[in-house]
Amino acid sequence: MIHFSPLLLLVLFVTGAVAGLIDSIAGGGGLITVPVLLGVGLPPQAALGTNKLQSSFGSASAMFHFVKAGTVRLRDARTGIIWTAVGAVVGAYTVQQLDPGFLKRFIPYLLLVILCYTIFTPKLGVEEAHPRMAPPVFYPIFGLLLGFYDGFLGPGTGSFWVISLMLGLGFDMRKGTAYTKVFNFVSNIVSLVLFIAGGQVVFVVGILMGLGQAFGARVGAKLVIKKGTRFVRPVFISSVLAVTAKLFFDNYK
C-alpha cells in the first residue's frame, strides 16, 4: 500500500509536469514517469497502466493546443486515428498476456538507427518535403505498428511517429511533432481502457501526475509552435539519445 505523504504528492505532480513538457516537444516522457512509478512501489504492469492514465492528460493537452493553433487538422488524421486505435487494442491486450522482454531488447537498436539518421541528415524535418507514401497506405501500416507498440511497451513511440511522419508523409519536424500527439493520445486512451479492465491502474497517482502532465504539455506545445523546428530538433535528438541509453542500460545491466 502506497503512503501518500505531502512530499510524495508534490514529487508526483512535478514529475508529471516535467515529463509532459518534454513529451510534448520530442517524446520520451515515459523515461521519467515509469521509473518514478516503479520507485513508489507499483508492480510493473500497474506502473504501465497508471502511466497510460497520466500520459493521456499530457497528450490530450498538447493535442488540443496544436489543433486550436491550426498546426493539426483532425480530419486529415482520421485514418491514422482509426488504425492507431486498432493497433493499441491489440498491443495493450497482448502485454497483459505476454512478457514484453523480447521486444524491449530489440527496440534500442531501432532507436539508435533513428538517432544516427537524424544527426547525419541535418536537413531532415527542416521544411516539408514531397511525401514518399500516400496517407491511405501510410496510416494502416504505421498506425497498426506504432499503435501496437505503444499499447504493448511504449518507450520511444513519439520518436518513431515523428521520424515516420517526416519520412513517409514529408512533414517537417514541427508538424510531425504536432500530429504525433494526436496518435499518442489515441493509443494512450485505448490502452488505458484495457489496463483499467485488467485492474492495472492506480487512479490517485495517475490523476495527480496527469494534472502535472497537462500543465507541462501545454507549455511544451506553445514552445513548439512558437520556436519551430530549430528548437524541436536538438530536443528530439536529446530525447531519443536518453531513451536509447536507458533501454540499453536496462537490457545489459
More confident call, 43 vs 135: 135
Q: What is the pLDDT of residue 71?
A: 93
**Are residues 124 and 154 in contact, defined by beta-carbon separation less than 8 angstroms?**
no
Question: Cα torsion for 218, 222, 223, 225, to the nearest 10°?
Answer: 140
Q: pLDDT, tens digit, for every residue of 7-44?
A: 888 999 999 999 999 888 877 788 788 888 888 888 88
Confidence of residue 127 (pLDDT cuts 50, 70, 90): confident
Q: What is the pLDDT of residue 23?
A: 86
Q: What is the pLDDT of residue 133?
A: 96
* E strand residue ranges, the chain: none
Q: What is the pLDDT of residue 132?
A: 93
The contacts of residue 89 (CB under 8 Å, 6+ apart) are 147, 151, 190, 191, 194
Residue labelled with grid coordinates 523480447: 102
Q: What is the pLDDT of residue 84?
A: 97
Neighbours of 219 (CB within 10 A): 16
Residue labelled with grid coordinates 492495472: 200
2/87 Cα distance (integer angstroms): 33
Q: What is the pLDDT of residue 67?
A: 95
**Are residues 170 and 135 in contact, defined by beta-carbon separation less than 8 angstroms?**
no
Q: pLDDT, tens digit, for every residue of 232-249?
A: 888 888 888 888 888 888
SS3 label, residue 121: coil
Of 106-110, 126-130, 201-205, which gets the smallest average pLDDT? Answer: 106-110
Cell numbers standing for residue 198 = 485488467
* Domain parsing of the chain, residue ranges: 6-252
Q: What is the pLDDT of residue 39?
A: 84
Question: Cα torsion for 103, 105, 109, 112, to the nearest 10°?
Answer: 100
Neighbours of 102 (CB within 10 A): 8
Q: Please spell the DSSP secondary structure of 138-180, one letter per residue.
A: HHHHHHHHHHHHHHHT-TTHHHHHHHHHHHHH---HHHHHHHH
Q: What is the pLDDT of residue 177?
A: 93
